[in-house]
Amino acid sequence: MKKKLIVGATAVTLAAMALTGCSARSTAPAASGSAAGATIPKGSTIGVALPAKTSQNWVLAGQDFTQAIAKAGYKADVQYAPASNTVPGQQQQITAMTTKGDKVIVIGAADGSQLGSQVSAAKKAGITVIAWDRLITNTPNVDYYVAFNNYHVGELQGQALLDGLKAKGKAPYNVELFAGSPDDSNAKIFFNGAMSVLQPKIDDGTLKVVSGQKSFTEVDTQGWLPANAQARATNLLTKYYSKTDLDGVLSPNDTLARGILTAVKAAGKSNPVITGQDSETASIPLIMNGTQYSTIYKDTNLEANAAVKLVKELAAGSKPTGVVNDPKQNNNGKKVVPAVELTPVLVTKDNAVKAYANNPTLEALAKKG
């Protein structure tokens, strides 16, 4: 679910369709066969297949899609994959949406590498396929991708870690690295973006990864489960930090950050500088009281509405606006998927109230402190 710091509600809104990040891009043509208005008539059904409700943002996404699709004059078919049978469950749901004749299927993939057969069948049925938030990989049968600039998310996280560490005192700093789930195509992109900032500081000795665990496969967190992050953090603290301070942790999202902080507290350590992502309500108080250093704001309402806006443009037979080719992060192994990239916002205690000005719930939490 990533940076050139952009803060404030106005920046979030204006940047929604901006071309951001540091990769080479060009305007992309409309996907073949998907822009004819007659194929997506008003009042038809738009399917939205989301993964299990493993984070607050996935729950919000379903609500945002339901509202945005109805407002645009379509019927919403929003479904979540079952937690106990996530990938097969999502495969079955996409197949059912295809059979029912949904005109568009928007997919937040549980595992983007395992949906090739389902999106192939959807395309053969004349359905427009939009990957949402996570790229669907190793298939040419994806028309568009709508997401925040995930490499930039990682860059912002890496820079936030460095900024927070500078406030602690002089280098070197002892740090540990965590990444997301390997079945999420975004996880490695987040990590690579962060390491583009952190690796030079590891190389010059500013940062010391005491465990020596620096590759994605060494630091990933299966399923994005906080229990897995907490268990790994406990092991690291026991093995490497019995007589050493842990100064900072690269955490890819808020849920994992809270799991790591639980391990830190249990080990009797002072809080390290720790990053996050998703602006979860449980983490905003932690940021405001200094327990968690930063998060990333990726407004799911903006992201859902960007996908629906894309559908409306395709239905009208118009060339979609704000679509780019971004080979750095949107090459799915078979094609560079034309994408609408939104701009993430780094949030710390210093800018939280301003950053959340368009979100009454988060703004209230930030003001409460």
Q: Looking at residue 57, what is its pLDDT?
A: 85
Same structural domain, 133 and 13: yes
Task: Report the DSSP pairing between strands 294-297 and 345-348.
Answer: antiparallel
Q: Same structural domain for residues 196 and 237?
A: yes
When pLDDT is averaged across residues 147-173 and rounded to a whole number, the result is 95
Question: In this structure, are 136 and 274 located in the same domain?
Answer: no
Report the Cα 37 to chain-centroid distance in Å.
30
Residue 38 has pLDDT above 80, yes or no: no
Q: Is residue 367 part of a domain?
A: no
| Residue 362 counted as domain residue | no
Average pLDDT estimate for 106-125: 96
User: What pLDDT band is residue 14 in, cutting at 50, 70 and 90?
Assistant: very low
196 to each of 115, 121, 145, 173, 191, how far by Cα in Å? Answer: 30, 38, 24, 18, 9
Q: Are residues 289 and 189 in the same domain?
A: yes
Number of domains in the chain: 2
Which of 262, 297, 332 represents a domain boundary (last residue)? 297
Q: In which domain, by residue range, is 174 found?
A: 150-297
Residue 226 near residue 256 (C-beta atoms within 8 A) = yes
**Residue 16 pLDDT > 50, yes or no?**
no
What is the band of 110 on the pLDDT scale with cuts at 50, 70, 90? very high
Tell me: the pLDDT tens digits for 176-229? 999 999 988 899 999 999 999 999 999 999 999 999 999 999 999 999 999 999
Top pLDDT among 152 and 1 is at 152
Cα(99)–Cα(96) distance, integer angstroms:
5
| Same domain, residue pair 156 and 219 | yes
Instruction: For residue 173, give the 3-state DSSP assignment.
Output: strand
Same domain as 226, residue 189: yes
Contacts of 195 (CB under 8 A, 6+ apart): 154, 158
Residues 164 and 293 reside in one and the same domain? yes
- What is the model's pTM? 0.82
Q: pLDDT band at residue 168, thresholds of 50, 70 and 90?
A: confident
Q: HSE (CB half, 13 Å, CA atoms) of 90?
A: 26
pLDDT of residue 39: 82
Which band of pLDDT confidence, cut at 50, 70 and 90, is reported for residue 282? Answer: very high
Residue 85's pLDDT is what?
87
Domain match, 259 and 182 both: yes
pLDDT of residue 308: 97
For residue 351, tell me if it sits in a domain: no
CATH number, domain with residue 229: 3.40.50.2300
Are 220 and 329 found together in one domain?
Answer: no
Q: In what helix (H) or strand (E) does residue 144 lie, and over which residues does it extend?
A: strand 144-148
- When mean pLDDT is compared across 92-106, 248-262, 322-336, 341-355, the lowest value belongs to 322-336
Within-domain flag for 358: no
